[in-house]
Structure 1
Amino acid sequence: MSCVLITGATSGIGFQLAKDYADTGWNVVACGRNTLALQELEAYSPLIISARFELTDLEQIKLVIARLEVSPELWIFNAGDCEYIDRGEIDAALIQRVFSVNVIGLANSLEACQPYFKPGHRIAIVGSIASEVALPRAEAYGASKAAVSYLARTLQLDLKGKGIAVSVIYPGFVKTPLTDKNTFPMPMLITAEQASQAIRRGLEKRNPHIYFPTRFTTILRFIGALPYRWQNVITSKLVSR
């Protein structure tokens, strides 16, 4: 039976992915730090087991992963956080918090899991379409996701020779507890169920890059291909602060 490990499984996209994979007969290792949410997932399906750890604690992650009694073949690194910078007033502590989860937390998870990667496995890393265009207030979040995208695309090159495939996922706006905190309009917002479907379909097709929703991410990718000066003019007019 196939097995998938999912970080950030205690809310939003990760929570939905865990349920959907279990519904289709996969064994699921749901990772996160919210004990109640992990218990809810285990109660949802006997195919789901939980792995509780803090993304910022590398040694804790290594211990938890080493104790698993299942062997994942699909690894979805989904955990992330978002905070915004207001009025361009840099807050170094805020940036450090976001990077500690989105970048260092990802690196910790990858290092802890990499002894168990084997030829034929697939790694999926959830970034953001925000990494491809500079957006107002996204100095911390966008920069962290740009780092995630670069890290993931580099892994695609370095792990190919080992027979390990890497998919990079670029969501647009998805309704989750994280985006529920946003106070600005979110164009073409989709549900976590729709996001899960897009991710699972893309991974099943073994796509190296997965963008959704298609129309929104295509628009931002087009803007991102323009000269920076033009990008700034367009985004300053189109994006609400």
Structure 2
Amino acid sequence: MKILVTGFDPFGGEAVNPALEAVKQLPANIAGAEVQWLEVPTVFYKSAQVLEEKIAAYQPDVVLCIGQAGGRFGLTPERVAINQDDARIPDNDGNQPIDTVIRADGAPAYFATLPIKAMVEAIKAAGLPASVSNTAGTFVCNHLMYQALYLADKKFPGLKAGFMHIPFMTEQVVDKPNTASMALADIVKGIESAIAAIVSYRDKEDLKTIGGETH
């Protein structure tokens, strides 16, 4: 089994991106699966182009995209990506699409095809906070998740894909009072635990645990 894990470059004025720093530290083998990491630009469409080229070359069974969600305190596998860009800030190339469809021939939304609830439970079992997230936002994170699932639907049959947001690293909140963060080593451990769950549930249905919210 081959798993491709992506991490974005820094954006929004941050000097680092914990997603990229974490995926760089992943071992090459997790639970018997081969793991490769890929840096992607925090840029609409360009990120998807880089991902598609790597998928075509590497032919992974699974794509797990990782992104920074500053302010969240746990690791949060995403349930769904929507076919809409609505950027609150410009991306790293200065693009700021507003109310823009990502793929004209794509579904209104795509649900993750990874075992998101099993991933959450595995991260919790490793002693770290985790929960299912029901919104990936409308910035490049949602864009890339949508594009990964679109590619799986249209071009790479059998490919499983999804996205997980992670908190700021501790170093990023030195000047951000009352902002949640996590040590990089713990972020790496959480991603490893999530990947182990993906491997374990390769041929099984996801857990039927509660992962919803009231609002």
TM-score band by shorter chain is: 0.3 to 0.5
Task: Report the structure, 1 or 2, having the larger helix content.
Answer: 1
| Greater relative contact order (CA < 8 Å, ≥ 6 in sequence) | 2
TM-score by length of 1: 0.41
Structure 1 or 2, whichever has the larger Rg, is 1
